[in-house]
Amino acid sequence: MNWIETALLAAYPWTKSLHVMSVIAWMAGLFYLPRLFVHHTEKVTVGSDTDDLFQMMELKLFRVIMNPAMIATWLFGLILVFTPGVVEWTAIWPWTKAASIIAMTWFHHWLGRRRSDIVAGQNTHTGRQYRMMNEVPTLLMVVIVVSVIARPF
Q: pLDDT 10s per residue in the chain (153 long)?
A: 899 999 999 999 999 999 999 999 999 999 999 999 999 999 999 999 999 999 999 999 999 999 999 999 999 999 999 999 999 999 999 999 999 999 999 999 999 999 999 999 999 999 999 999 999 999 999 999 999 999 987
> Is 118 domain-assigned?
yes
> Is 16 domain-assigned?
no
> Is 1 domain-assigned?
no
Looking at the 3D structure of the chain, how many domains does it have? Answer: 1
DSSP state of 149: I
> Is 31 domain-assigned?
yes
> Is 10 domain-assigned?
no
- Residue ranges making up the domain that contains 56: 26-150
> Is 3 domain-assigned?
no
Q: What is the pLDDT of residue 153?
A: 78
Q: What is the pLDDT of residue 1?
A: 82
> Is 47 domain-assigned?
yes
For residue 27, give the nearest of 150, 138, 142, 143 by alpha carbon. 138
- CA 63, 66, 67, 72 dihedral sign is positive
Q: What is the pLDDT of residue 68?
A: 98
> Is 49 domain-assigned?
yes
